[in-house]
Amino acid sequence: MSGASMFDYFCSTHQFKLNYEETKNLAIGEDVLSGDISAGGHIWRVICFPRGEEDNKANWPNSEYLSIFLKLVSQAKDVQVIFEAFLMDRDGASPSSHTKRFVHVYKQEGSYGWPRFVERSVLEPRYVTSDGYVIITCGVKVVRNNPLDEAVPSDIGRHLGVLLDSKDGSNVSFIVGGEAFAAHRAVLAARSPVFKAQLLGSMADAKMPSITLQEIAPVTFKAMLRFMYTDVLPEGEKNDEVPTTEAFYQDLLAAADRFALERLKLLCAKRLWGDAHRWRCPELKEKCIDFFADEKNFKKAVLTDGFAQLVHKFPSILAELRDKTNDIKTEAGKRTMKPNPNRPLRPCNVLWEWSLLLVKERRLACRRRRSEFLAGG
């Protein structure tokens, strides 16, 4: 029995040449090892059981199998590898159709492979060469982390934030509570239909270099303006001028509604809902429920990742929302139908079912984040 290896840094191949007659004298569970194989900066070893590993005898007592495993010898974590093995035909030169392949992430040193790579009964008639050998070729390839394969985070928010701070090219200013805020008409119009009508439409404000806004605090307008440029809430920023209190987010939510900033509305509502649960504030919680119970807001929120995260963290929100919407229907004098499993789902019910599916999907997401196996059998 012999073997040979050849490799580059990330890939390596190894070939087992087993004397078929000699393997008949081996015990079940007796292995044949390759030498150390270097691939991707790690040491590997191919383990072959010509008559199968010990567990095969109990699991498949009526058949014998040739077993092959790839073992990570060196100490390492989270190493992703592609391992492929195939038998050579009887001529010993061309690969056969009997090929298996897997992709596996080794969390630590250990082995992984096929207990039943091929049944021994088919070896002699199909794969034993004229000089009495069975030839198995194995390939090992470590999958490296390529930074080009990773999603490149967007930096447009950072650049627009710099534009807002520098005031370069600003062509409109807002006077809020005696404070002036420079801005760019095109940016605001792109973010808000209200500002689009005000700044680019036929309204008088479209030609005014300075616009005074009433019923909004300077700190609220400043936070809203920065969100319109950066798409980021002031939450967690090291900025004493912008508070992150419950009252602040209530004011910011009102401003977002005034200027039709739907994403900002949802983010504020999500933040307020978390605070209502954390601080056991029933009044604030009721306001959040009222916001989500509005059909227009609910239809926009239910299909977002933010809503799925919110419901995953606070599962009771679905039941409370359903109760709230039923109360609204009752107050409006509409007949509330009793649940009927045979009745087709109405659009509103479809949204409820969809939101439940989103929560279930998020709970299962961590289980899905495992390496995909591309085993050939």
Q: Is the domain covering 2-149 a CATH 2.60.210.10 domain?
A: yes
- Tell me what pLDDT residue 216 has: 95
Give pLDDT tens digits for 97-156. 678 898 999 988 888 999 889 888 888 888 888 888 888 888 888 887 655 555 567 889
pLDDT for the residue numbered 354: 45
pLDDT of residue 266: 82
**Residues 162-213: pLDDT tens digits?**
999 999 999 999 999 999 999 999 999 999 999 999 999 888 888 899 999 9
Rounded distance between C-alpha atoms, residue 261 and residue 248, angstroms: 16
Q: Which two tokens stand for residue 297?
A: 């807001």
Higher pLDDT, 60 or 232: 232
Tell me the domain boundaries of the chain. Answer: 2-149, 157-260, 275-372
Percent of the chain with pLDDT over 70: 63
What per-residue confidence (pLDDT) applies to 12?
78
Q: How confident is the model at residue 337 (pLDDT cuts 50, 70, 90)?
A: very low
| Strand, helix or coil for residue 103 | strand
Q: pLDDT above 90 covers what percent of the chain? A: 24
Give the residue-averaged pLDDT of 308-319: 63
Look at residues 272, 229, 278, 273 and name the one whose alpha carbon lies nearest to residue 251: 272
Q: Judge if 2-149 and 157-260 fold alike in CATH terms.
A: no
> What CATH number does the domain located at 157-260 have?
3.30.710.10
Predicted confidence (pLDDT) per residue in 30-62, tens digit: 988 888 888 888 899 999 998 888 776 667 777
The predicted-structure confidence for 112-124, as pLDDT tens digits, reads as follows 999 889 888 888 8
**For residue 77, pLDDT beyond 70:** yes
How many other C-beta atoms are found inside a 10 Å radius of the C-beta of residue 30? 14
Phi-psi label, residue 92: left if phi above 0, alpha if psi -120 to 50, beta otherwise: left
CA 83 to chain centroid? 26
Q: How many CB atoms neighbour CB 179 within 10 A?
A: 12
Residues 199, 197: Cα–Cα separation, whole Å:
6
The Cα 73–Cα 268 span in angstroms is 51
pTM score > 0.75 for this model? no
The overall average pLDDT reported for the chain is 76
How high is the pLDDT of residue 343? 40
Best-predicted range by mean pLDDT (207-221, 234-248, 274-288, 328-342): 207-221
